[in-house]
Structure 1
């Protein structure tokens, strides 16, 4: 998605190399996805469910 849109930013963090960030986001499994510091999920999601979570986070951000 980040490649397709300049409105999406992706950061990949190596949990073992940055334990402070891992602790801040309570990483217990990988992959861990955090969207706008509000929506979080762990594990590999099927693409349709991943997209649904991203779109919902975007809609929630517009309502705030």
Structure 2
């Protein structure tokens, strides 16, 4: 998921992405309630655990900022 997040961040100045090794930063993992990896946190409010297909990841990012799309036809 980090690769996809960083690719999105490279394309948009509105997006930043960080990947954190939870074993090196256990206090950060605890603060975000990490129980499994990968854990994705968007805008400190939306969170999901586990690897998902790239299209699902992008859809969840867009939904987190209030943009709904239909993955079937790509329209808002």
Structure 1 unaligned runs (5+)? none
1:13 is aligned to: 20
Could you say which structure has the greater relative contact order, defined with CA pairs below 8 angstroms and 6 or more residues apart? 2
Matched, 1:52 2:59: yes
What is the CA–CA distance in structure 2 between the aligned matches of 1:14 and 1:6, rounded to whole Å? Answer: 24
TM-score calculated relative to the size of structure 2:
0.74
Structure 2 unaligned runs (5+)? 1-7, 68-76
TM-score calculated relative to the size of structure 1:
0.87
RMSD: 1.2
> If you compute each CA radius of gyration, which structure gives the higher value, 1 or 2?
2
Q: Secondary structure at the match of 1:2?
A: helix
1:39 is aligned to: 46
Runs of 4+ residues over 2 Å off in structure 1: none
What is the CA–CA distance in structure 1 between the aligned matches of 2:54 and 2:25, rounded to whole Å? Answer: 27
What is the CA–CA distance in structure 2 between the aligned matches of 1:19 and 1:51, rounded to whole Å? Answer: 27
